[in-house]
Amino acid sequence: MYEFFPLLVVGALAGVFSVIFIVAFLTIKNDKAAIGFERNMQDSEIVRRLFVYAKPHWRSFLAVLLVMLFSIAYDIISPMMIGYIEQMLVEDFPMSRLFAAVGVYAGILIVSLICTYIQSILLQKTGQRIISEMREDLFVHIESLSHSQLHSIPVGKLVTRVTNDTNAVSMLFTNIIVNLLKNCFVVIGVLAAMLALNYALTLMILCFAPFIVLFTVIFRKFSRKAYRKVKDGTTDINTFLSEHLSGMKIIQIFNREQRKREEFERKNSTLGRAKHQQILVFGIFRPLVYMLYISSVMCLLYLGGRGYIKDTPFFGQVITGGTVVSFYLYISKFFNPIQSLAEQFNWLQSAFASAEKIFTLMDLQPELVDAPDATELEQVQGTIEFRNVWFAYQPDEWVLQDVSFTVPAGQTAAFVGATGSGKTTILSLLCRNYEPQRGQILIDGVDIRTYTMSSVRRHIGQMLQDVFLFAGTVRSNLVLREEGIPEERILEVCRYVNADSFLNRLKDGLDEEVRERGNNFSAGQRQLLSFARTVLHRPDILILDEATANIDTETEVLIQDSLDKMMQIGTMLIVAHRLSTVRGADQIIVLSHGKIVERGTHAELLEQRGRYYRLYRLQEQKQAHA
């Protein structure tokens, strides 16, 4: 009855499996519902979309597959060769046969090592090309999102998608997929070799296979949940760091370090618990597979040793010493790939969870897109017209209500009014950062929606209150990496906008280093660089949004002189709280609660003694008392 010993082992494993399954089920909590644009995706959808990136590189993967088949020959043949050599050692044999067998074994080993090296090089090159393409597609997609969409997604989350998540997916192409195939081929090859050697012992080992399948199917669900939590926790921490490191100055000014430390500890603890669940899933799965391996070895030693010592056939199959040695090695070759599959399965779930995050972001459709028949805006005279424009950031909360005005080409229009009256919104609509819900915006009599967004923005130069400078040099920030602009032209523009007043004092001039966000330059210097950058790219329409706010009096004189010069370049729209900045405008439009309440020149509005008159007198009184 010793033949039925494996069945008793399998029955015992069934009970152990049931207990572990219940423990795992109670430990891993359910996922929270996907937040915002994110959603849970099926494995089939993820595989299909990843295949789109892998398909253009099919030749490289085919080459890897062919090389891999040679490399796994060692795993399949070596146990049989060792068993053959062991059998020769207990029998009479000529030394030439032993040398020949050892030579064949060494040759197979060398070929396997060479093929493994070639396979690794091909995979790394192919995988990195694929991930570079995916990372570029993701960044281009983020660039296509509207301002409102970008404002609704934390910067840290976007950074995590482009860096951490793409790195996790890279493991899929450089390691996981091919090793999964390799291990599957090894398992199949080893099974074929074992069947050829002794089918009865092979069937005994296969009694353990259903449990491997069950473990994999059940714990796939738990590991995906665990990895989703890890990805969400990592994103949450990156988002927190991105925001609070940028705002560290405010945190220190208001002594909020302890509060922010506590917030970080909570987020860090949440990520730690998610990591713990991830480790628990893997910590349960791999030992179970190892337990199956040990059980199969015990059965082999029991049955094989009994049959060999007592010369008792096992289900009609004769067992020799070489058979036992070969099967012992084959069991290792059989279960090692399965244990590797467990580890690769762990990475696979990480890659799938990251791919899920990436693809849900890429599925977020841009709110603003060019019309199918949109054309390029080639030449601009500069006449701007708003015709009955209504706009709201939130439904039924109108920021602009039936706004209509015209700015003739080459003239300057200024918008004044209280905060929230809609001044900056008008400029954003002209640049097509948003679309109005009603009405039209026209340039030279043509609705801007008939043009591509990129061509409209190419003719508009913007100078904002919060000047953004990229890390690099003064030169790179002025030309914005556009090649071909001569240095003489750059210096001429800097003199034109009075930026040479401080550039001449810099040690390296245009090649002076600019640190992150330009924090090694004053607010006024950054603004003058913004002016130079705008003029350098020859816009037909200029936008000035609170560019003189928070500027010292001396720098304001330079900026005002620059503005007077830039008004001669083309049509200019100005938003300013300092009314001294807009006195020279051809028309001043006064806004209140999204409506135009007054318009005219500086002198005309003072004569009307309305809202503009009161604002102007109020600022004069403040300056007099300053």
Express each pLDDT in 371-422 by its tens digit. 889 999 988 998 999 999 999 988 888 999 999 999 999 899 999 988 888 9
Asked if residue 521 belongs to a domain, the reply is yes
Determine the residue type at 289.
V
Q: Per this entry, what is the length of the chain?
A: 626
- How far is it, in rounded angstroms, from Cα 61 to Cα 69? 12
Which pLDDT does position 33 carry in this prediction? Answer: 45
Q: Show Cβ contacts of residue 121 under 8 Å, excluding neighbours closer than 6 positions.
A: none
Whether 484 and 585 map to the same domain: the answer is: yes
Provide the pLDDT for residue 61: 85
The Cα 141–Cα 340 span in angstroms is: 36
SS3 552: coil
Q: How many other C-beta atoms can be found within 10 angstroms of the C-beta atom of residue 584?
A: 15
Integer Rg of the chain from CA: 36
In a domain, 373, yes or no: no
Low-confidence residues of the chain: pLDDT under 70: 1-39, 79-80, 83-84, 86-95, 98, 216-217, 220-221, 224, 300-301, 303-325, 328, 338-343, 346, 481, 547-556, 623-626
Half-sphere exposure of 168 (CA within 13 A, CB side): 23
* Residue 516 lies inside a defined structural domain of this protein: yes
Verify that 406 and 288 share a domain, yes or no.
no
**Interatomic CA distance for residues 605 and 602, integer angstroms:** 5
Q: CA of 400: how far to CAs of 161, 165, 393, 544, in Å?
A: 35, 40, 10, 19
* Residues 352, 389 within the same domain: no
Q: Report if residue 367 sits inside a domain.
A: no
The reply to whether 161 falls in a domain is yes
According to DSSP, residue 31 is labeled P
Query: To the nearest 10°, the Cα dihedral for 603, 607, 609, 610?
Result: -60
Does the residue 3 lie in any domain? no
Same domain, 265 and 405: no
pLDDT of res. 308: 47
Among residues 207, 194, 289, 293, the alpha carbon closest in space to that of 3 is found at 207
Please report, for the domain that includes residue 588, its CATH number: 3.40.50.300
In which residue are the tokens 């990480």 written? Answer: 350
CB-neighbour burial class of residue 101 (10 A; exposed 0-12, middle 13-18, buried 19+): middle
Same domain, yes or no, for 398 and 443? yes
Pairing of strands 438-443, 472-473: unpaired
Edge-to-edge order in the sheet of strand 438-443: 397-407, 384-394, 438-443, 446-447
pLDDT of residue 409: 92
3-class secondary-structure state, position 486: coil
CA distance 256 to 260: 6
CATH number, residue 261: 1.20.1560.10
Query: What pLDDT sits at residue 552?
Result: 60
Instruction: Please say which residue of 362, 393, 413 terminates a domain.
Output: 362
For β-strands 384-394 and 541-545, DSSP reports them as: unpaired
Look at residue 16 in the predicted model and tell me its pLDDT. Answer: 55
Structural domain count of the chain: 2
| Contact partners, residue 360, CB within 8 Å, separation at least 6 | 34, 37, 38, 39, 41
Model-level pTM? 0.69
Residue 575 belongs to a domain = yes
In three-state secondary structure terms, 322 is: helix
Q: Which of 514, 544, 521, 515 is nearest to 531 (CA)?
A: 544
Mean per-residue pLDDT over the chain, rounded: 79
Maximum alpha-carbon separation in the chain:
123
CA 506 vs CA 500, 501, 556: distances in Å: 10, 10, 21
Of 327, 362, 397, which one is at a domain's C-terminal end?
362
Indicate whether 350 and 468 sit together in one domain: no
Say which residue the tokens 């090389």 belong to: 67
Q: Helices H, strands E: what count in the chain? A: 23, 12
List, as one string, the DSSP characters of 177-192.
HHHHHHHHHHHHHHHH
Residue 351 and residue 395 share a domain:
no
The token duo for 60 is 């490289």
Q: CA 140: distance to chain centroid?
A: 11
> Does residue 616 sit in the same domain as residue 496?
yes
pLDDT score at 242 = 78
Residues 531 and 616 placed together within one structural domain of the fold: yes
E strands in 334-470:
384-394, 397-407, 412-417, 438-443, 446-447, 460-464
Q: Please name the residues in contact with 212: beta carbons below 8 A apart, sequence gap of 6 or more.
A: 289, 292, 338
Residues 409 and 315 in one domain: no
Among residues 491, 504, 617, 501, the alpha carbon closest in space to that of 557 is found at 501
What is the domain range of residue 60? 14-362
CA–CA distance, 147 with 368 (Å, rounded to integer): 9
Kindly compute the dihedral angle of the four CA atoms of residues 37, 43, 44, 45, in this order, to the nearest 10 degrees: 20
- Using an 8 Å Cβ cutoff, are 273 and 225 in contact? no
Tell me the sheet residues that pair with 389. 403
CA gap 544, 430 in Å, rounded: 13
Task: Write down the pLDDT at residue 244.
Answer: 80
Q: Looking at the structure, do residues 357 and 393 belong to the same domain, yes or no?
A: no
With respect to residue 372, please indicate whether it lies within any of the assigned structural domains: no
3-state DSSP assignment of residue 390: strand
> Is residue 352 located within the same domain as residue 419?
no
